[in-house]
Structure 1
Amino acid sequence: MITSEAEARTFIEGLGGQGAIEKLEALAAALREENERQNLVSRGSLEEVWVRHFADSAQLIPHVPRETKGAWFDLGSGAGFPGLVLAILRPNEPTVLIESRKRRIDWLEAMADNLALQNCVIEGKRLELVETRKAAVISARAFAPLPKLLNLSSRFSTVSTYWVLPKGRSAAQEVSELPRKTGKMFHVEQSQTDPEAGIVVGKGKIGTGK
């Protein structure tokens, strides 16, 4: 379990090296400043930004095989977690951040530009309006209940798509309530940053996804 800011930094450096640490330090500073203008994250969480937001996002990466190539779709990116962190830690693969709120879109675009994240694409629109294309990985943090999330994003999935969905305390219950065929695709992994939280992990095509 990652419980301190120092542990979080060490964990992240192991995934992305010192270059990632430097970009995340810049992101943390910008986040604190912007949070005075709009409520991107809870004020209290900024005291543990490396655990609560950076490591919490980065922990999704080990659940996806390293050889996986292609776009990682992050649904409802909000303040950029996990999307911006994923783009920083996976600089050679595209990361698509989908967000519909104007001020959040402006923030994400500014950060992608300021941090020189050339692999980061901001889709500033509702998920229903995003052009259908294949996703290698799909993530979503506090986006929607699991059945709705899977329904809305099914058209981006293929038999090779990985799903990594932080779901807090409700993870196991939400998986258990899925239709049997769909539920068999998923299992729950323990969060490394919250002893009471789980991550729904799976692979495959949902519904009519091509």
Structure 2
Amino acid sequence: MEKLEKALLELKIPYSKDSLMCFAQYMDKILEWNEHVNLTAIRDKNEFILKHYIDSIMICGYEPWQCADRIIDVGTGAGFPGIPLAILYPNKQFILMDSLGKRIKILKQITEELGILNVEVIHARAEELAQKKEYRETFDLCVSRAVANLSVLAEYCIPFVKIGGYFAPYKTFGATEEIEQSKKAVKVLGGTFEEKTFVKIKDMDLEHQILWIKKQAKTAAKYPRKAGTPAKEPLK
């Protein structure tokens, strides 16, 4: 956990001994469950801390993050980036959603066991959840480390964001062409690219950049399209 503490200090993120303990316990529980259910391909603890924990928290130094109170993590998988962020910021409210019920059941059990009270986990498809009034355009920020193409991911995520809020996907450094090809889809959905941010931490090789997409206009009611369509027929 020393590597995580070093990153927190370098990024000037407040933390406590209790939060570090919660990080350690969450990792142990995920790796224990991973013996029975495929939650993560990463089994080495040092790699887990770098690629799941430190990578997740690199969003924290930026104003859109600091101003966000209600956050949704779309395609959370084993709880990233949502859980690390929720541990560090107990005053922010998080929805973690994933389409695989088995994962969500495990996340619900672990968050309850560890007393992570500012998280609600939901089993749903983004195409369906984003059409529900209580979730549509109600979030200050949508984060996602999902591996979907950005044109597809934008259709899943931007409908959740309120006007003036942000969609902040984590993308690899080599995603330049993917980003360029997604610009029309982002505009159609009511968003606009503001900037890219790269976080450098000494002696740590992080794999993602954060894209900041601001919600400028309401998303047309027809988006997201019915389940499966965004992936089969990405907006162009």
The correspondence of residues 170-181 of structure 1 with structure 2, limited to 5 A, is 170-179=174-183
Deviations 1:69-90 (A, max 9, x none): 4311100011001111111111
TM-score (norm 1): 0.85
Partner of 2:14: 15
By how many angstroms is 1:46 displaced? 3.3
Given that residues 189 and 199 in structure 1 are in contact (C-alpha distance below 8 angstroms), is that contact kept between their aligned partners in structure 2? yes
**1:147 matches 2:158:** no
- How many residues align structurally? 206
Given that residues 142 and 158 in structure 2 are in contact (C-alpha distance below 8 angstroms), is that contact kept between their aligned partners in structure 1? no
By how many angstroms is 1:158 displaced? 2.3
Q: Which has the higher strand share?
A: 2
Deviations 1:143-163 (A, max 9, x none): 421111111223212232122
Deviations 1:157-197 (A, max 9, x none): 22321222111134332222233673852422224454553
The correspondence of residues 177-188 of structure 1 with structure 2, limited to 5 A, is 177-179=181-183, 182=187, 184-188=192-196
Deviations 1:18-77 (A, max 9, x none): 221111011111122111111211144434222111111111222344651431110001
**1:203 matches 2:211:** no
Given that residues 172 and 209 in structure 2 are in contact (C-alpha distance below 8 angstroms), is that contact kept between their aligned partners in structure 1? yes
Given that residues 79 and 108 in structure 1 are in contact (C-alpha distance below 8 angstroms), is that contact kept between their aligned partners in structure 2? yes
- Higher mean C-alpha deviation, range 174-183 or range 135-144: 174-183
Give the distance between the partners of 1:196 and 1:79, measured in 2 at CA: 18
Give the distance between the partners of 1:27 and 1:55, measured in 2 at CA: 14
The correspondence of residues 122-161 of structure 1 with structure 2, limited to 5 A, is 122-130=121-129, 131=132, 132-133=135-136, 134-161=138-165
By how many angstroms is 1:207 displaced? 5.7
**1:189 matches 2:197:** yes
Larger Rg: 2
Give the distance between the partners of 2:105 and 2:78, measured in 1 at CA: 10
Aligned residue identity for 2:103? R
Aligned residue identity for 2:60? I
Give the distance between the partners of 1:140 and 1:108, measured in 2 at CA: 16
TM-score (norm 2): 0.77
Deviations 1:119-140 (A, max 9, x none): 1011111112223331111111
Given that residues 163 and 218 in structure 2 are in contact (C-alpha distance below 8 angstroms), is that contact kept between their aligned partners in structure 1? no
- Higher mean C-alpha deviation, range 31-40 or range 191-200: 191-200
By how many angstroms is 1:117 displaced? 1.4
By how many angstroms is 1:17 displaced? 2.5
Given that residues 154 and 207 in structure 1 are in contact (C-alpha distance below 8 angstroms), is that contact kept between their aligned partners in structure 2? no
Give the distance between the partners of 1:99 and 1:147, measured in 2 at CA: 19
Partner of 2:224: none
Q: Identify if the C-alpha distance between structure 1 residues 172 and 37 changes in structure 2 by more than 3 Å, giving closer, same or farther.
A: same
Give the distance between the partners of 1:59 and 1:161, measured in 2 at CA: 19
Partner of 2:103: 104
Given that residues 154 and 205 in structure 1 are in contact (C-alpha distance below 8 angstroms), is that contact kept between their aligned partners in structure 2? no
Structure 2, unmatched stretches of 5+, are 222-236
